[in-house]
Amino acid sequence: MTDAYPIDDAPTPDPGYDPSTVVEIQLEGLANNDEPVDNAGVATAYNFASPANRRSTGPFDRFVRMVTGPQYAPMVDHVEATTGPLEQDGHTAEQRVTLTGADGRVATYRFGLSDDRSGSLDGYWLTDRVLVIES
């Protein structure tokens, strides 16, 4: 895979997606991370990261190391996902997600999203941050 954006052959943002759909698409990809190719799920998460998020966590190789590292490892190939209610206020949204990793480790994250930015992705719900709130 390359450092280009978006990563080819992985789902990409669409202005028709609401914030809960954006989280769901990322969770589905991460649950089956290496299908159809290695790190396809991480590529999906990268494609749905906001430009500011990608600037602070990218390029893609660095993003892969972060997501597969200890803090976010339960996301990759997780076996169970429980999502909390979506909390939306205008152009921002948050959703709590509890994941059970392939090794049985349980971690809870808070996805923060927005759809108000300059440029070609204005109006697209994208992930600004994923914070670990319980591990």
pLDDT tens for residues 111-122?
999 999 999 999
CA angle 73, 4, 59 (to 5 degrees): 45
Positive or negative CA dihedral for 55, 44, 109, 31?
Answer: negative
Q: Which residues pair with 112 in a beta bridge?
A: 94, 129
Query: What pLDDT shows up at residue 135?
Result: 84
pLDDT of 4 strictly over 90: no
The verdict on whether omega for the bond into residue 6 sits within 30 degrees of 0, i.e. cis, is yes
Domains of the chain: 19-134 (3.10.450.50)
pLDDT of 2 strictly over 90: no
SS3 96: strand
pLDDT tens for residues 67-108?
999 999 999 999 999 999 999 999 999 999 999 999 999 999
pLDDT of 48 strictly over 80: yes
**C-alpha distances in Å from residue 62, one per residue of 29, 30, 65, 77, 110:** 18, 17, 5, 19, 21
pLDDT tens for residues 38-47?
999 999 999 9
Please state the pTM of the whole predicted model: 0.96
